[in-house]
Amino acid sequence: MTPGFRYSLIVLAAAAAFPAVAAEAPDTVLTNIHQLTSGGSNAEAYWAPDGKRIIFQSTRGQSTRGSSKCDQIYVMNADGSDQHMVSTGKGRTTCGYFLPDNQHIVYASTHLGGDACPAEPDRSKGYVWAVYNTYDIFSAKDDGTELKRLTTEDGYDAEATVNAKTKKIIYTSATGGDLNLWEMKLDGSGKKQITTTPGYDGGPVFSRDGKKIAWRAHHPVTPEDVKTDADLLKQNLTSPMKMELFVADADGKHAKQITSFGCASFAPTFTPDGRQILFASNKLACDSSRFELFLINIDGTGLRQITSYGGFTSFPEISPDGEKLVFVSDWKASQRYEFNIFTADWKP
């Protein structure tokens, strides 16, 4: 679904590249499940600080205000009502998130590079993600007005999330020639690079107390892989099929790899107490489109499978009060490429 991986690009590409797996009964950990969207490709749903609304990205309908040919940012009430677009309707967007005041949002968009959807990645190069160099991060009021550009450097800037306590944004940037994690203040000032390991670091999130971060990464090891990775980035591409999860202090120090599945693990989010990570992975069938949700301790122990839907399930986030989970899945989808947003009671 994207390097928005936190992206609906990841979802769409995964589903397009591999056959679907027959759905199974949902895990009993998740109860009182409600489907909030119906139709289209919906992804990356995240709670407002007060828990009353959800921001998400969606491809639905035609290219008019309120619908889109490629991902745009939408907001809805926590019960699924009042779904409406809050991005410009131009270009492609990804990774919407509320700011701590509950009245502003951030998201990444390519609209300054053109009104049209940017070209899809060249699949002749294998299963790759596009990291469009026209992506920049913007803030706006929660109705889409007062748009402000927060990143102005050349190259990819996206995958932003926000910590309500420290009032910092963490994101992925190609500034400096590689895909690393960066942080900045809510107004775009104080930009600081957090990671330096060659390769892709992305999809970062803070723990609720702001003391830890978690993210997904692919760090090539051999000279050949390093060259391949660098060559792809020069073409604004990256390869996502082998990604592991990492945890570190908020400044990037004491980084620790907590998965070693040799598969694609991504979309990490901390539990409210900061002791565990909830994430998506295709570890049950590497190189397949079957992604389920898993829970793991921040030291890499205690792995536990949470869902068993049999298709694509990802982008989990626990509500501010710790009572609900929002996630994205093709469970119950009526057609291919349909991904919907669900909420459930969270009682692991």
Domain boundaries, the chain: 8-346
Closest CA to 53 of 317, 347, 312: 317
pLDDT at 125: 72
* CATH class in words for 8-346: mainly beta
Cα 90 vs. chain centroid, distance in angstroms?
20
Cα 210 vs. chain centroid, distance in angstroms?
19
Please give the structure tokens belonging to residue 200: 């892709």
Report the distance separating Cα 56 and Cα 43, nearest Å.
6
Please give the structure tokens belonging to residue 178: 């590689």
Q: Which secondary structure element, helix H or strand E, spans residue 137, and what is its range?
A: strand 136-141
User: Which residues are paired to 203 by β-bridges?
Assistant: none
Report the distance separating Cα 149 and Cα 272, nearest Å.
31
Contacts of 301 by beta carbon, 8 Å cutoff, 6+ apart:
none
pTM score: 0.91
Report the distance separating Cα 215 and Cα 281, nearest Å.
13
pLDDT at 14: 42
pLDDT at 12: 38
Report the distance separating Cα 28 and Cα 108, nearest Å.
35
Low-confidence ranges of the chain (pLDDT < 50): 1, 3-26, 62-65
pLDDT at 294: 96
